[in-house]
Structure 1
Amino acid sequence: MNKRNTKTKQLILETLKNAETAVSQDILQEELGDAVDRATIYRVLNSFCDDGIVHKILGDDGKYYFAFCVNCTEKKHHHNHFHFRCLECGKIECLPNEVDIKLPKGYRSVNFNGFISGYCAACSRAL
């Protein structure tokens, strides 16, 4: 079944593309205001994840964040990598190195969530 490309989807997609960091549903809601309701944002974000357009990050604060992977050379997110959240400025970013975890024979990975918190380069210099 083909999915429709609506104005709402395009608005959410452009907002994600223009974000300098991974964003939560709350951040998107705040930025979009009354243009899109909360349930629609949630539904569209999950659809983007299912389609591999963005990936979902479970932060150390228990919130989910959504990001385009700048390290993916294809249009679909396809690899595992760590994410970093700066404790000072709050920026969440994809780290460039792919993670290769060797599972026991017969095991199959479906999801990976690697998360590191600390201080980004800019904030470290300021400390």
Structure 2
Amino acid sequence: MTASVGDSVVHSRYVPFSHAHYAGNLVDGAYSLGLFGDVATELCIRTDGDEGLFASYSDVQFLAPVRAGDCLEIAATLVRVGSRSREMEFEVRVTARGDAERGGSAADVLDPPVVATTARGVVVVPPAGG
């Protein structure tokens, strides 16, 4: 296993209504950050054979709402590889969303997807061979 710039992981997720906290079935921003932790963990396992530990986030941007009932893609891409640190770019994209005006279970695929949240983060992994 060798971490390389450009390595990436994408998860797909349905946002359950139990995660809605605000009017209009809005989900709090921390939900996206938790999803970033999930993709970062898988990326570290794939590149370093270890889950790693999150050290920091930077430049978190909440660009569009995430709502209960949304279908999401969550991406992590490795942008810098240090001896123990891994810097990643993250993106949450809304790929489908409910359409209550057409009916209670109606939904639309969003083409193109809506970028809802972006961030950069640093994860630390154990030293190679350790």
- TM-score category (smaller protein): under 0.3
Q: TM-score, normalised by structure 2?
A: 0.24
Query: Which structure: greater strand fraction?
Result: 2
Query: Which structure: greater helix fraction?
Result: 1
Q: TM-score, normalised by structure 1?
A: 0.24
